[in-house]
Structure formats: structure tokens, C-alpha cells
Structure 1
Amino acid sequence: MMRILIAEDELLERKAMRKFIEDNFSDIDVVGEAENGRKAITLANTLAPDIIFMDIKMPGINGLEAIEQINSVTPSIKFILVSAYDSFDYAKKAMRFGIKEYILKPGKKDEIVKALLRVQKEIEEERVQSQEKMQSDQLLKERLIMKLMHHTIDESVMETQRDLYPDMKSGFFLVCSGADWGQLEETLARCIADPYILLQSEGNITVCVLAQKIHSKADLLTLARKIQLDSGMFIGIGYPYTHIGQLPKSYSEAYAACFQLAGEQNSRYGFLKRTKERAIDEVISTILDEVTKGNNEQAIATFKKHASRFSSADRENLYIEMKSILLKRDIATEEHSVSALKSTQDFQTFITMSCLKLNEYYQSKQYLMQAKTYIQNHYQSAITLEETASFVNLSPNYFSNLFKQEIGETFIDYLTKVRLQKAKELIEENLYSLKEISYMVGYKDPNYFSRVFKKYYHDSPKRFQQGIFKK
């Protein structure tokens, strides 16, 4: 049922419009009438109509002013303007708010019907699109939480997070046992202010919170207590992490904590308690430290020495932490989970591949540092990409791709930026002519230098110089 509000200062006009709509549209409900712009604003907020018939000329706040205020709060409301004046100025102002329907008084019945049908069709199409988007987003959210739960961190996970949760500052998992789905949904809606994803599996309900601020352990305990008091379930809490690649670890912690709580029956919410001395954690830290440095031999030697002591949870923890090391540096990883590493040899291969990727990453950074230093020292001359690639002992094609990928701009764009920044500094010093500065920053043609400078700074070198002198 479509909901409509009639805003018209003439009582007879309002009643006539109401009767006409009610007599001709069984699927439209007239939810209210407003005799002026201020009343229209109030009723728009309280009645939430889909369409407003808005007279332009009304006492106090006129129709266009009312539309502007309503539109700023509820932009989804559609408007059909009604006016006794055929004024292009009104139509122009209305177009700013996306209003296409404009009826002159006295409105012909067929014009009103056509306008309503057009707006009705537009609303229905938008509703279908909105529903399709909601379904698509829900599917993406379910895929995201499933991948996080199964430790399958790939580029699609990070892309989904950037698209759906661009403001994520931290994230964590809750695993709830003994909960009723409907009741929990209501409880979470009241207790959690941040965006979250729900999934029911294996008799548990898993909650992934992707928060817009960094949460502490105390925050999570307070949240879990609120949820638990309202629902009476067991709630295992995973630690909060700031990178999407670390969230599988939070899920593992929450899952283990939930079953630990249910088994002990002492508390109904909390983090996983370490029940034994975890000297193996120091071993994991040592391996991670060596992997971070790219020291494959030392990392493998430490892993082999203690491999027999690793539980499946320890291996999972090591795997997640290693993936996180790579992801923090935007290094692509294989799209498999820890379950794919079935043997000790598989895990050693994963360690080796991680070290190789990190060494390639560090080497790339070293090449680029050398290239940037070379550019800083030789920008005055006619240096080329090929010349710079040769200096760092890379092929021109590989160097070009590496430079664009890591620096975010082409070699030429970067060189131009360096030259023009230096030119700007020299102009500000006011010690040399513009022609001299052109040569000093590597441009042999002063006219070409002027064109490049203007394109980059949106002003010619001469006008830029004059602007400095005026200050």
C-alpha cells in the first residue's frame, strides 16, 4: 500500500484531492493532510509517507522550503508539486531535489492520474532494487563470515570488508550456545551499536562485529554481559583485532571459550582461559619473528624442533598469524585454509613460501628506495625509466610495473612531481630566472616546462611567481 500526504492550504482543494485519490486508487492510502509547510514537515516525520502532494504557495514556510527540509531528513519521499503559476523558476528549484512531476491548478484528472502512476512506478522500481541490493549484501555478508570462520582469507575478503564496512577499526567474534535465534536477534539489535553479521551453524549462533572504533577487552566483557543477562545463553568472546586478516583467530578464541564455559558451568560469558602453561606460545612467537624477517632456515628449524608439541589449535594460531603478517603488507596469499596443510611437510612449505614472499617484498622496497634516491640525485638531467631500471639491475618492464604497483603512480609522473616540487622551491627562493630554473630541474625547453608546471599547479610559473611577490 502506497502512503500519501496532501499539503495544500485551501481546505476544499485538499478534500477534493483526497476524495479523488480514494475513489480512483485502491492501493493508495491518504495518511494525512497539511494546511501549511510547517505542518507538512511535521507530518512527513511522523507519518512517513511515500508521496507528498505539495502546493508551492502556502503561508509561512512555502512548498519548496518544506521540500528542502523534508528532503534533508527523508530523501526517499517523492513529491508531486501543485501550483497555480506556470513558473519556470519553481520548476528549476524543484529539479534540485529530483522532482519531475509538476501539476498546474486546476489539475486535470488525467494529469493527476498519470503523475501518480509515474511516481508509483518509480517507487516500486526503487523498492525492488533496494530489496535486490539487500539480498546481495546479505549474501556477501554470509560469505564473509563463513570465510573468516574457515580461515580462508583472500583478496575477496578484504574487498568485501572495504565495500560493506569501510569504516572498520576493529573486529571480534562472539559464539553463543543455547540461544533462540529470534530472541537473540532482538537482543543484539538493542545491545550492539556497531555493524555485525549473524550466522547459525552447528547448533550455535556466531556473531561477527565489525566495529567503527577500537574496542578494549573491557568493552567486550560489558557487551557480553548485557547480551547474556537478556538471553541466558553461554557467550564465548574472541579478542578484538584491528585487521580483517586476524579475525579468524578471534573466531577460534570465541568458539573455544564458548565450549569451555558450557563445560565448566562457572560463568556464562567470557574469554578463553589458558588452563596450562603455554610455553609453546613463545615458540610460535619465535617462528613468527623469523618469518617476519624472512629468515626461512631459522623459522623452519624452530618449527621442526617443536612440531610434535603443536596441537591443532597451535597450528591454526600460527597459520592465522602468518597470514596476518602477509596481509598487513598487502602480499597475496593462497586461497586455502589451515586444513589444507595436512602434514608437517605441508606446513614447512607454507613457512618457506611465506618467507620467500616477504623477501621479495623487502627486496622490492629496497629497489624502490634505490630508484627514488637515484631520481632525487639526477632529476636535473634527462634521466629515463630504462636508465633508472638499469641502475637497480631490473628489466625496464618489471621495474615499470613494480614502480606503479608500490608507489601508486608511473615513473614519469613521479619524476615530474619531484622536478616541479624543486622548481616551486626555487621560484620561492627568488634567486634565479624562470628560464634558469627550467634548466636546473631538467627541462631544456622553458615553454614545455611552463606547460607542465601549469598542468600540475593550475597556474603558470610566472603567475605563481607574481602571486608570491604580492604577499
Structure 2
Amino acid sequence: MYKILLVDDEAGVREGIRRRIAWQEHGFDCVGDCENGFEALEAAELLAPDVVLTDINMPFMDGLELTRQLAERCPHVKVIILTGFDDFDYAQQAVKLKVMDFILKPITASELIAVLQKVRGELDAEKLRRENLDLLKRQLHESLPLLKERFLERLVSADIGQREAKERIAYFRLPLEGPDFIVFAADVDRFAESHPEADHELLRFAVYNIVQEIAGREAGATVFRTREEKIVCILSGEGTDALLDKAQQLAEEIRHAVETYLRFTVTLGIGRPETGLRGIRRACRSALSALDYRFMLGSNRLISIMDMEGRREGGEAVPSSWEKELLVGVKTGTREEVRRAITSIVSHLKTSNLSINQCYIRIQKILISLMHTLDELGGAAVEPFGDRVNPLTDIYAFKTLEDIESWLHDTCLRAVGRISDARNDLAETQIRRAEAYIRENYQLQELSLKTICQEVHMSSSYFSALFKQQTGRTFVEYLTAQRLEKAKELLKFTDLKTYEIAARTGYADPHYFSILFKKTTGETPSEYRQKTAVEKP
């Protein structure tokens, strides 16, 4: 409902207008009437009408002067001029004063209603625009933290013009007056195993709060989070040495606070001091580069790029003897040899003075050799690496060499286990083949260890050891047992002579067969036949 105020020096006219219009049906509430401009001005300030319907020709203050005064004091009020003078000059002045409309007396109800509908339409449109603007302002206010973070991320990662940078810094009221800047970046090393995955975002926010609280004590500090979940602090001030000291002090305080109160660790990288707004980007890049050295130096520490920038882009390769020891250990299934080789390799990388990129290359070379070895052994080359699609690129997800060492150790031992299982399966299959061959060919006098080894493609020494391990007997013991069991059947169920049974079970010498039979069973072939014949039903 919109409020309307009537102004006319004739009381009859005011009363007639009030009575002839059903105000509420048309969306208006007539809140008062006045007989001159002075009264109307006071009433407008008190009643805050949306529309003023005023006569133009009144004593003390006419309608045009009232319109001028309302434009200054109540600029939102719509004014409709009511006049009995069909005077072009009045209309021209009314237009200049941005009067909503003017109506000539005598006025009819239909004319006034038409004007009111027109005014209401414009008031509705203005109300909608105000509501939309208020909504946009609220949304902007709610989005300011995110917009500020996105601007800061652009500031430290993209080439922003000086003018735009200064305008946005002023808009977000960021304390980046300079002239000197330094940046340090913090990143969570790893969460404790006791923290469920759902709590990780909450814990990252807790780290952010700690950084804000500690760094926020400095007048020139600005803290924000990157999309890579790192927390960056820009320190602004005068004097690069003083800024470097302050950054190291704050970073150490933050590291200690996170470890003490959150029970996990963060590593912080401190960049080089720079001068000027354009230097912020370089300062941040060097801070993130310092943080990358956590891969080689380990976690829960401060790393200054000033300490690391002297590292040369070279270094000794991993000694081939360690790599060879690792591969031999995997092939032979020697777990201790594998563990020792991995420890030696990682220790060498930590102290080799290699750059981070070269360190990754060394690890990838070892992985390629390992995958080639696994492939040679007949297993899937990437199977021991778990669900990772490509271990050569997945190593970049690890934050420290200690993480790489643990992962590589687990991977190699898993490979050893699978190779051992595969070998056991193959060995068992080969021994079962050998047993079947013996059962089928026991009657052959020329059946020997050499014959069997040729059949299963094994060396005699390896086969003998494996056969004993799988069956609990030597080859000769197993063959003898098979032949004598068959001889017992022939003695029991046939009338064949002893020499015939000897020949059928692989013995050319019947006398040797009889001696062997008695030695094994405690009875001669004849005694065994007689005994079994008596026991027959």
C-alpha cells in the first residue's frame, strides 16, 4: 500500500477528492491533507508519503516551490500537479522539476484513477528495482570473503595491472601499502589417522584460523587460502630484513601452535622479500617453491627459499648397485634386501643436492626398472601399485621423500609377495605334472630323474628340492612307492609270476625287486601273496 498526501488551499476540493476515490482498491492510503505548501512540507517529512497530489496555485508556497523543496528533502516522493490554469509555462516548469504528471481542474474520478494507476506502476517498478539492488548488495556482502580470496589469488599468480591492483586493494581494504613485501605459505603435512575424512575440511579451516589469528596481529598482514588448499600470508612493510625476520617469527609460531593445539603438523615455506606490488607475485612464487622442498627435507619445519636457492641443478645419480640390489631382492623374494636397498636409495636422494625435479626423475627411473622386472616375471607390471593408474605421475601426490619411501617399500614387498605366490602356484602345478607323469609311466625301466626334469622343464637340483618340499619324499622314494603299490595289487589280484610283476613295475632284475619289496614291506612277494590270499573272504 502506497501513501498519498493531498495539498490544496480549498478544503472542499480536498474533501471531494478524498471521498470520490476508493484509495485502497487502487493500492493507496490517503494519509493526510494540507492547505498550503508549508504545511505539506512538514507533513511530508513526518508522514513520508510516496505520492503528493498538490494544487499549483496556493498562498505562502505554491505547488512548484513545494515540488522544488520535496526534490531536495524527500527525493523519492512522486509529485502530481493539480491546476486550474491551462498554462504552458506551468507545464514546462513542472517537466523541468521532474513532476510525475499534472491534471487540469476540474478533475474527474476516472482521470485521477488513471493517473494513480500510472504512478502505482512506476512505484512498483522502483520498489522491485530497490529490492533487487538490496538483494545484490546482500549477495555481494556475503560473497566478499570469496571475492577477496579470488582477487588475492590472481594478485599472486597473474600479471595484474598496477591501476587495477590498487583499485581492488582499496575496495577490499587490504593492508598492502608496501613498499616491501614478503610471503610465506603453509600446508598440512598429513592428518592423524584418528581424524575421519569428513573432518579434514574443518581441520584445514582451523589451521586457517590459527594463521589469521597469529598473523592478524601484524598491521600489514593479509591471509587467504588458495584453491590448492594452501594458506598464504602476505606481509607488507618497510625494510626487507625486518620483514624476513617477522615472517620467520610468525611462521614458527604458527607451526608450533598447529602442532600443539591440533595435534598434527604443517610445513611453511618462506619466500624472498620483494619491492612493489608486482613483486608480490614473485614473493609468493618463491614461498611456494620453498614449500616444495618439503619433499626432500621432510615435514613439520620452516623452509626458507633463501637457504635453498644455492642448491645446484645437478647431483649424483642413484648408485646402480642399490638399484640392482632392489631388483634382485624383488626377483628372489628377499624382503630384507629390498628394504635395505630402498632405505639406501632414499637416504642418497635426501643428501644428493639434487633439485626436486631431478629427484622425481631418479624415482621414475627406478619405477620403470621395477615395472620392467615385474613384467619379465610374468605379472602385471602395475598390479602391485594398487589402484593407481600411472605410478610415474602419481608420485607427485606425495609430499615428502619419507612418504615415497614408505609407499615404495610397501609396493615392493607386495610385489615380492605376489611373485612368491605366483612361483608357488607354478611350482605346485609343475610338481603335480611330475606326479601324474610318474603314475602313468612307473613301469618304464628307463624312467629317471633326468626324464622327469626334461618333462617339466626344470633343473635336477631345483626339481629335487621342490619335489621334496611339495611331496615330502625324494623322487626315488616317490617312484619306489608307486611301483611297489602297483606290485601289491598285482600280487593280490593276479596269478602273475614274481619276475613278471617285477618287469611290469619297472624292475629288470627280479631278485632286486624281491629284496626291495621285503625291505619296504617286511615280507617277500610270495609271503605277501599268501597273506592277502588268506585274508580274502
Same fold (TM over 0.5): no
- Aligning the two structures, in what range does the TM-score lie when normalised by the shorter sequence? 0.3 to 0.5
TM-score by length of 1: 0.39
Instruction: Give TM-score scaled by structure 2 length.
Output: 0.35
